[in-house]
Structure 1
Amino acid sequence: MSLKSSLAMMVGKTSYFVLRNILHRGGTSLPGKLAVRIDPDVMTNLAEKYDVIVITGTNGKTLTTTLAARVLREKFGTIITNPSGSNMIQGITGTMLTAKAPKKGARPVAVLEVDEANVEEIARQLKPKAFVLTNIFRDQMDRFGEIYTTYDKILKGIRLVPDATVIANADSPIFMRGDLPNPKIYYGFNHLPADGDMRAPINTDGILSPTDHSILHYHFITYANQGYYFSKTDQFARPELDYAVTKLNQLTPTFSNFDIDGQTFQIEIGGMYNIYNALAAYTVGRFMGVDAVQIKKALESNAQIFGRQEAITVDDKEVTIVLIKNPVGTNQVIDMMKTDSEPFSLLTLLNANYADGIDTSWIWDADFESLHQTDVRKVAVGGQRYRDINVRLKMAEFEDIAIYEDIKQITKAIKAMPTKRVYIAATYTAMLQLRAQLAQAGYIKNRLGE
């Protein structure tokens, strides 16, 4: 180990100690940032000590990472991970540097959520054992551009480690692009007969065949561009699945019950999109040798997930915090709300910081109009870009929208809602601000949701 690397590790660990034990603050981003500034390659010294699993994609990274870590703990014990979603190079560096040193001869597992634009650098330094690909949707176009640009960033990282296994969501046709020598494992949905012939809705991204760029057809669609696709102009089709959701038993706002390869599982979180995340975690577990009984136990834990459908009680209100950041994810959140049989209120918080994406035009492609199919009784808006989301909801024909210009008013706003059940749909930094406010008021006790 070079003197520069030794100094970087010492500074990172010392700053982490000060933050946690003296200043009583959480987070690994600052220690990682300091370490990377001293030695950008500081993590290369850790590469031989860990089996690293990288989880990346547009939506579902945080939940998939959390569930996969729970699954792997059933066999491996302590798992190194970044549950708060600090998924860029400085956050991951901090996570690795501040992890408890492995016992002599032990080879611990690190399950890391990685921002799509950071996959190449993480792969170069940590040489992952596997890459888990969740999906690619239009997201933060100011950072990533179109979906194919995003996928190219991921491919650059995968190609650096040709022996690593690619664990891909085969229902997403974009992952069939790129000539990769890596071993591959595919997961997806087989819950409906493969006898339909339909096209994706207008304005759906990522529905072109990678072989001849014709528009794909589907036997069935789960949501957006995902499903059992095939081409009518050549032999291209979704590959055979190694692990599959074979039945949807019950979907509610608070839990999802489904079968994977004939065995029933339940996760204490709503939405079909979260079943994909659970299936990805199941696939990671099987890849790492965890048996189905152990996986079932891990998935059915009801521990809260940081900022992802966190259920919080605020006086007499049942509050659910959901993250939104792009049209597809927002539409899935709305679909989850449609399964709620009780009346509810909705508060939407829109920020436009770097971590959110500074371009908020995506709200015009989200189907807020379909909220009229729910029993929503009150709609309110807040966040830095409250004016934007207020106009969008007005155009969706909502009236009497409550406006909260100051994020510090949100606890008061929750208490003012006319219904017992309240959903808060927030972009990432707005969610962090909200959690800090609720924690200060004593409504949130945990720091990381894990």
Structure 2
Amino acid sequence: MAGNTEPLSPRSKLAVTAGRAAAAVSRAAGRGSGSVIGGKVALRLDPDLLARLAQHLDVVLVSATNGKTTTTRLIAEALRANGGVVSNALGANMPAGITSALAGGSDSQYAVIEVDEKYLAGVARDVTPKAIALLNLSRDQLDRAAETRMLAEHWREGLSSSKATIIANADDPLVVWAASSSPNVVWVAAGQEWKDDAWSCPSCGGVLQRPGDDWVCGDCGFRRPVPSWALHGDYVLDPHGSSWPIQLQLPGRANKANATTSAAVAASFGVAPQVALQRMYTVAAVAGRYDVVAYENRDIRLLLAKNPAGWLETFSLIDPPPAPVILAVNARGADGTDTSWLWDVDYSRLAGHPIRVIGDRRLDLAVRLEVAGVDFQVCGSAQEAVATCPPGRIEAIANYTAFQDLRRVVGN
């Protein structure tokens, strides 16, 4: 348990108060939760506030390209078996948003914090985490985020002096290379569906060989470490050889992998796998993701997919043809303005589904679907897309701001 510390200084208290006021004004103006602007105001008044707010907490950081928000939620639920938890549950994962979240956790024991990949090393330096979960690294917003190996190198350098327990995915070579600089690593066999960013060795640049579930560099010998935790079908295997059933309301293999990593994190704080997994079952949706919403005599399931790896996982979740699918893509600041990633997604997997295409970049997506040989219809709005689908179930897959747009339309 984190030790007791001195109370916040008058300056820090003023910063927290000012941040809350700024957030309240933002909410009143209808500009969202206000967590980011509130955190920015607070940090402007006290640049060391993030570290001060974290000093009494046992902090867990979660970072990855995909699965951060869901895994953060699962870990938070598991740790609530031991005590109070504060978390940035809505995904504001840069320093300002994290600061706002921690400002509400004065009575908590734990902080479970999702961190944007680019900011992980800096946040880890500020908050002195007890554990850091590293899930995966894959190509994402090319106009904002660094190339994946550069991100892995940034992680490797930033975490080399960390005293935290690193819980890392043994199946992702980039994550393994990044985590290997740390003295205390717990390896988890969580799987890696998307491999297109991990064919070359991050250590020497050689070609990785992938015999079965293993991987190894034929040039320098860099290889998959032996995991102590593993996802095996519908079970978590713990370091003692015991298997624990995974029963989630959240769909798909990726969420079973998230649950496996979450169980390993919870165990490092003394929460037994059986208890942790039972608590994870209570999570039915995460910030609207996976929700099924009744709208215009249809049941619309809302699925978020922000990059090629995320789209690949999402395609495995949807109902089989002829279930209608709405695809929505924007390219605003939060999404990344470069849509070249569309060409890395195998949209031929949607063959047989009636497809409706919406969003700011619907024409870019339409060209991609045309090349993939998939039938589709371009619609001017979400309302039009829904109206052209028959009553019943609709699968809606959207990237970040398109997902928020869709939630506003269907009332979720």
Aligned residue in 2 for 1:96: 102
Q: Is the 8 A contact 1:56 1:134 kept in 2?
A: yes
Q: Is the 8 A contact 1:307 1:431 kept in 2?
A: no
Segment of structure 1 superposing worse, 277-286 or 18-27: 18-27
TM-score w.r.t. the length of structure 2 is 0.89
In the alignment, the residues of structure 2 paired with residue 50 and residue 71 of structure 1 have an alpha-carbon distance, to the nearest angstrom, of 16
Unaligned 5+ residue runs, structure 2? 1-7
Instruction: Identify if the C-alpha distance between structure 1 residues 259 and 163 changes in structure 2 by more than 3 Å, giving closer, same or farther.
Output: closer
Aligned residue in 2 for 1:162: 162
Equivalent positions of 1:69-80 (< 5 A) are: 69-76=76-83, 78-80=84-86
| 2:129 equivalent to 1:128 | yes
Q: Is the 8 A contact 1:63 1:308 kept in 2?
A: no
Q: Is the 8 A contact 1:81 1:110 kept in 2?
A: yes
Q: Is the 8 A contact 1:381 1:390 kept in 2?
A: yes
Aligned residue in 2 for 1:46: 53
Aligned residue in 2 for 1:383: 359
Equivalent positions of 1:29-428 (< 5 A) are: 29-76=36-83, 78-97=84-103, 99-102=104-107, 108-159=109-160, 161-178=161-178, 180-189=181-190, 204-220=196-212, 227-233=213-219, 235-246=221-232, 248=233, 257-261=234-238, 262-337=243-318, 340-341=319-320, 343-372=322-351, 375-376=352-353, 378-399=354-375, 401-405=376-380, 409-418=381-390, 420-428=392-400
Instruction: Identify if the C-alpha distance between structure 1 residues 342 and 204 changes in structure 2 by more than 3 Å, giving closer, same or farther.
Output: closer
Offset at 1:230? Answer: 2.4
Residue 373 of structure 2: SS of its match in structure 1? coil
Aligned residue in 1 for 2:5: none
Instruction: Identify if the C-alpha distance between structure 1 residues 240 and 44 changes in structure 2 by more than 3 Å, giving closer, same or farther.
Output: same
Q: Is the 8 A contact 1:170 1:239 kept in 2?
A: yes
| C-alpha distance after superposition, 1:125-165 (max 9, x if no partner) | 21111111010001111112311112233334424x52111
Superposed CA RMSD in Å reads 2.6
Q: Is the 8 A contact 2:190 2:261 kept in 1?
A: no
Residue 182 of structure 1: SS of its match in structure 2? coil
In the alignment, the residues of structure 1 paired with residue 55 and residue 106 of structure 2 have an alpha-carbon distance, to the nearest angstrom, of 13
Q: Is the 8 A contact 2:288 2:302 kept in 1?
A: yes
In the alignment, the residues of structure 1 paired with residue 191 and residue 128 of structure 2 have an alpha-carbon distance, to the nearest angstrom, of 33
Instruction: Identify if the C-alpha distance between structure 1 residues 410 and 22 changes in structure 2 by more than 3 Å, giving closer, same or farther.
Output: closer
| C-alpha distance after superposition, 1:45-104 (max 9, x if no partner) | 12321111110011110111111111111222x21111111111111111111x1422xx
Match of 2:402 among 394, 408, 430: 430
Residue 277 of structure 1: SS of its match in structure 2? helix
Residue 49 of structure 1: SS of its match in structure 2? coil
Offset at 1:341? Answer: 4.2
| C-alpha distance after superposition, 1:145-191 (max 9, x if no partner) | 311112233334424x5211111011101123255243111101599
Offset at 1:260? Answer: 3.5
Instruction: Identify if the C-alpha distance between structure 1 residues 391 and 70 changes in structure 2 by more than 3 Å, giving closer, same or farther.
Output: same
Instruction: Identify if the C-alpha distance between structure 1 residues 421 and 34 changes in structure 2 by more than 3 Å, giving closer, same or farther.
Output: same
